[in-house]
Chains A and B, each alone.
Chain A
């Protein structure tokens, strides 16, 4: 009897988890749809606005994939930080190379 209860309980717990998975899926789909909307409604002249929205939405999507699908949210804090902190180098490289790109553009002869 106790075993039956346990398996029923396990099924229920699984059901909750599955609901969370589908909820995450709808969020990802919604954000992607929104990106398309922005791509075709906000004119190309508003370059900075477009790019900021795209980058923000990408980070939102990345957050949901990593935290829910890859389960990182439920791991030990030390593991979360071991993965997240090294990504500072990526931020550094973005800044360094975009500055470099602008410098190349300014001295380039066409």
Chain B
């Protein structure tokens, strides 16, 4: 009796930082994933805030939205730029396609967290199933983004007038039919950097999926690797939430 009391007292006194345990109650790998994501959050913030700075330093379009035309003079209204949907050529559907992409990415985030949950129950089959759905969602998102880039680069039929009076179609890093060249540059950099993260995420997911299938984590006794790669995948989704708001909506 006295002995158990002494033990209780000892454990009671031992604080989180007194050694013998992880003060964060998280493994090294998971902790480092969190700090990596924090640094990545800074990178993406810098890109998006740079967008804010540049947009703020350009004049905004003043007239009514229905009369909007592309011009080098002012920053474009995003929903007028992104209004095309595959197979529906010539129909104005502002933000519909990017809405679909957002849905796909949120959905794949859900399947990822379901894979993590299945891992807690050591349910190998369920982890396989949900990881596969996540990978599929990631690939679909990348496909959508490839289409959107293609459309953005090729441009609309009307094109846009450049400063010298010539008509230019589409956009590259120095010329842009939709507005100031920097608008296109930021589009390529921000969605490109995010797309590259999605691509890396799909790659990591495939790697982890392979390990799940061959039973590595079942033998190890836990599915923490699925959790870690899940953190990364949710972060990619989180960044998209911000890109969606600040690039497409505002």
**Closest chain B CB from A56 CB (angstroms):** 10
| Closest beta carbon of chain A to B238's beta carbon, Å | 5
Instruction: Decide yes or no whether B28 CB sits under 8 A from chain A.
Output: no
Point out the residues of chain A lying under 8 angstroms from B103, CB to CB.
Answer: 29, 32
- Count A interface residues, CB 8 Å: 52
User: Do the beta carbons of A61 and B59 come within 8 Å of each other?
Assistant: no
Complex CA gap A10/B24 in Å reads: 25
Contact B242 A62 (CB under 8 A): yes
Whether the Cβ atoms of B23 and A76 lie closer than 8 Å is yes
Main secondary structure of the interface of A (DSSP, over half): helix
Closest A residue to B126 by beta carbon equals A14
> For the complex, what is the distance from the CA of A108 to the CA of B118, rounded to whole Å?
57
Interface residue total, chain B, C-beta cutoff 8 A: 54
> Does B117 lie within 8 Å of A21, measured CB to CB?
yes
The majority secondary structure among interface residues of chain B is helix
Give Cα A6–Cα B206 distance, bound, in whole angstroms: 32
User: Chain B 87-126, CB within 8 Å of chain A: the 1/0 string?
Assistant: 0000000110001001100110110111001101100000
Which of B26, B52, B53 neighbours the largest number of chain A CB atoms within 10 Å of its CB? B53
A40 neighbours in B (Cβ, 8 Å): 94
Closest 5 CB pairs of A and B: A101-B56, A104-B57, A101-B53, A97-B53, A58-B245
Interface residues of A (CB under 8 A from B): 10-11, 14, 17-18, 21-22, 24-25, 28-29, 32, 35-36, 39-40, 43-44, 50-51, 54-55, 57-58, 61-62, 65-66, 68-70, 75-76, 78-79, 82-83, 86-87, 89-90, 93-94, 97-98, 100-102, 104-105, 108, 110
